[in-house]
Structure 1
Amino acid sequence: MSAKSQKGHTGNGDDPPPGDGVPPAEHPGRGRTREDEVSVLDILLVIARNRAIILGCMVVFGGIAGLYTLSMSETYTAEATVIREGQSASDQVGGQSAALRGLGFDVGGGGGGGLGPGSYPAILNTREVRLAVARDTFSYPDVEEPMTYVDYVNRPTEPSWPDVLLDYTLWLPWTLRDALREMEPVEVDEKSIYPTPEEERAMRAVGGKVETSNEGGFMVISATTDGPEFSAELTKSFIRHLTDRVQDLRTERTQRNLEFVEQKYQEAKRKLEAAEDRLASFLDRNQNIRSAELRNQRDRLQRQVQHQLELYNDWQGQLTQAEIELQRSEPVVTTVEAPVPPSDPDSSRPQLFLIVGLLFGLFLGMAGAFVKAFLRYATDESDEEVQAKVEELKRAFVPGKVRERFGGARKAE
């Protein structure tokens, strides 16, 4: 064989070797191969192979949600449209000085400052309003005698089987949370506990039945219950107690404003009297003023009296306006459209429960499918390092009986 022929067989240092009979995918140290990577096709294949589990979970939990939807009583929503009255420019005192406004003093008669229309939804959901509504008396569709909402929420009742089923399936975390709260010791002391635990429960329940929304310059208040008359009465109660609460806040603020203005008025009065006394004493001591120095002193004292007189008149006018504002009663919430008992029940909530049940079943079924695929992959023969990691994960998260069951099934195959 010639040297050229030998060179063609051996190759030079720059050419790669022709191969050693081992496929490139099996060469150690060359990184992960295409078969080692998890692709979208692998995920879809797992879903396709376990579609029976996924569909079964969706059917089970969708059926539970459907049964609960059928057992639910129909809900009714009553709405009312109101106008939130805010402070107008006419409520400001015309005699308010620019210096006081620059210092940030709101000494005008407008008792609604700081309680603009934007704060009304927050006031509606305060503890004071919800507690007042919970103490009102209503007529309920499932109770013959009218009673307060506190008594209605805390009356002894037997839960229906759909409620029990959902409490220990979909709502299990919240059921455990409520059970832990009931286990906490409660001190029975009427002087220190306000409101009572029964009223707290009623306040939480009634707060979940009312909603607010803004439509242009109007505010829409709606209440959703299982009775049309109850929904309308509850909406009226919220509007009434919202009006009372806003009026109380305005009256409280106006009272503080009146006290502040009266204090400043008395202070201005004392300074005016002191300035007048200094001017009178100076004039008594100097009857015939001829020198320029004495005339300057007299003019200075007169300017002080004039300045204090202007402040006195300003505070006197603001005091009169504050007294009028405290005695004036004006509507803070004007009802444009009063709530009426709705004639048709709501139709969106049953569909929502059914969708939640189907989505929960889908999530649980897919989780079970991937856990099953992982356990099957863990029993396959693979690289020693990968197998060791899988075994550690199995010992940490998979119960022993489950490992034995899937391991035996895989060996039998």
Structure 2
Amino acid sequence: MSNEQDVIVRNNNNDEEEIDLLEIASKLWKSRRTIFIYCGIGAILGLIVAFSIPKEYTTTIKLAPELNGSSSGASKLGSLASMAGINLGSANAGGDAVMPQLYPDVLSSTPFLVGLFDVPVTESKTDATYPLYTYIEDHTSGTWWGYLFGLPFKAIGGVMSLIRGNDDEEGVGDGELNPFRLTKDQEEIKNALAKRIVCSYDQKTGVNTISVTMQNPLVSALVADTVAAHLQAFITEYRTSKARQDLAYAEQLNEEARKEYYDAQQRLADYLDRNQNLSYYSAQVTRDRLTNESNLAFSLFNQTAQQLQMAKAKVQETTPVYATVEPATVPIKASKPSKVMVLFGFIFLGGVIASAKIIFADKITELKQSFSK
């Protein structure tokens, strides 16, 4: 008998739930005018917000770094391991500390970003050229609500700076750019650049993707191309640093050997000019000694010349080559904001607020009455 009662209770609960859902649907349908009004308000707010956000343009470059022939087999093994979720990048690098996986860290480092401050950029609308630092500081706009909410913090910061004095704000104080000690404004520009320059590495394909987002399409393309060039120059300088040091040392040895060889030749020539008709044995011994010194100097000069050529070939061999899979092009369409998504988001939010108000109107009224008592 108890089982039948449980079944009856469950059926009653299900009926109540169905009745509640139907009641909620009925409330919403009866108050559909209110929902439409809220959705309309949301659409208006969405349009205001969507057109208040500045347009951003994104330029994407894809670089494929060169793989050394000696590590090609290891790279194939690494690609197979990466498919299984195993990272063998350090083993495949062949002693190279700056692997492609670390390129995003290089691009976000302070010296790299500070090195972009003086890069000249040209706006597409005005054809005016500024340093990138000036463009980010003076020619990049934000949203009106960002300025509005930021005013109190700026006022507080100004008061605090007056209290503390300006010593902490001036950095080194000589007006020069010092990556070791940036001023507050320079730190803000550096952080803004770090957000606008993004680099990602694909473990499977080994391709680095560099994306630069700016409020001007031409500036976006110029900065992206410059970032790729600076990255390639940095990696090239790092990988060829040892070979270039060896080349400089070989050039020094070759120059010293050349000078010694020319001096030995000149000493032999001067002696022969002064002692042409002498047949003394002492004169012959001196001539033979100077001749041997000249021959030895020439042999050393010849060896250092060969070493110099080998050092030059080593520099060329260690210089990496990058295949530009996708070069920089001036974007035509803005990457953000998506006005349609913003509009539908606000319309949906307006509908949700209106529905919540309609559903919980009775409970809100009861709470008000209970508090009033």
TM-score scaled by length of structure 2: 0.54
Q: Report deviation, 1:180.
A: 8.5
Q: State how far apart, in whole Å, the 1-side matches of 2:315 and 2:347 are.
A: 59
**Corresponding position of 1:210:** 197
State how far apart, in whole Å, the 1-side matches of 2:325 and 2:189 are. 29
Q: For residue 328 of structure 2, give the secondary structure of its aligned residue in structure 1.
A: coil
Structure 1 Cα separation of the partners of residues 207 and 160 of structure 2 = 45
Equivalent in the alignment of 1:310 = none
Alpha-carbon deviations, 1:174-199, whole Å to 9, x = none? x5896598468452242397322222
In the alignment, is the contact (CA less than 8 A) between 2:170 and 2:184 conserved in 1? no
Provide closer, same or farther for how the CA distance between residues 364 and 140 of structure 1 changes in structure 2, counting only shifts above 3 A. farther
Distance 2:17 2:61 in 1: 63
Q: Distance in 2 between matches of 1:166 and 1:47?
A: 36
Q: In structure 2, what residue type is equivalent to 1:145?
A: A
CA distance, structure 2, for counterparts of residue 216 and residue 135 of structure 1 = 34
Contact 1:140 1:146 in 2 (8 A): yes
What percent identity do the matched residue pairs reach? 17
Aligned in 2, Cα 1:329/1:140: closer, same or farther, shift over 3 Å?
Answer: farther
Match of residue 340 from structure 2: 351
Q: Which residue of 2 aligns with 1:132?
A: 115
Indicate the larger mover: 40-49 or 58-67.
40-49
Specify whether residues 337 and 38 from structure 1 end up closer, same or farther in structure 2 by C-alpha distance, changes over 3 A only: same
Matches within 5 A, 1:190-209: 190-191=171-172, 194-209=181-196
CA distance 1:78–1:247, change in 2 (3 Å):
same
Aligned twin of 1:4: none
Task: Give the greater-gyration-radius structure (CA).
Answer: 1
- Post-superposition shift, 1:230? 1.3
Secondary structure of 1:133's match? coil
State the match for 2:37 in structure 1: 56
Relative to structure 1, the CA distance from residue 371 to residue 346 in structure 2 (aligned partners, 3 Å threshold; closer, same or farther) is same
Matched, 1:237 2:226: yes
CA offset digits 1:235-285 (Å, max 9, x no partner): 112212222443465578x69xx9xxxxxxxxxxxxxxxxxxxxxxxxxxx
Aligned partner of 1:66 among 40, 47, 53: 47
CA 156–235 in structure 1, closer or farther in 2 if over 3 Å, else same: closer
2:103 to 120, 123, 131: 120
Post-superposition shift, 1:88?
Answer: 5.5
Asked if 2 retains the 8 angstrom alpha-carbon contact of 1:109 and 1:325, the reply is: no
Gaps of 5+ in 2: 2-8, 73-89, 162-167, 173-177, 247-309
Number of the residue aligned with 2:80: none
SS at match of 1:204: helix
Mapping of 1:22-101 within 5 angstroms? 39-45=20-26, 47-48=28-29, 50-70=31-51, 74-85=55-66, 89=70
RMSD of aligned Cα (Å): 5.0
Aligned residues: 270
Q: Relative contact order (alpha carbons < 8 A, sep ≥ 6): 1 or 2 greater?
A: 2
Q: Distance in 1 between matches of 2:158 and 2:144?
A: 20
Structure number with the higher helix fraction is 2
Specify the alignment match of 1:146 in structure 2: 129
Residues 177 and 132 of structure 1, relative CA distance in 2, 3 Å threshold:
farther
Give structure 1 stretches of 5+ with no counterpart: 1-13, 15-24, 26-31, 92-105, 259-320, 381-390, 396-403, 408-413
- Give me the whole-angstrom Cα distance separating, in 2, the residues matched to 1:46 and 1:346: 41
Q: How does 1:265-276 map to 2 (within 5 A)?
A: none
- Residue correspondence of structure 1 range 260-299 to structure 2 within 5 A: none
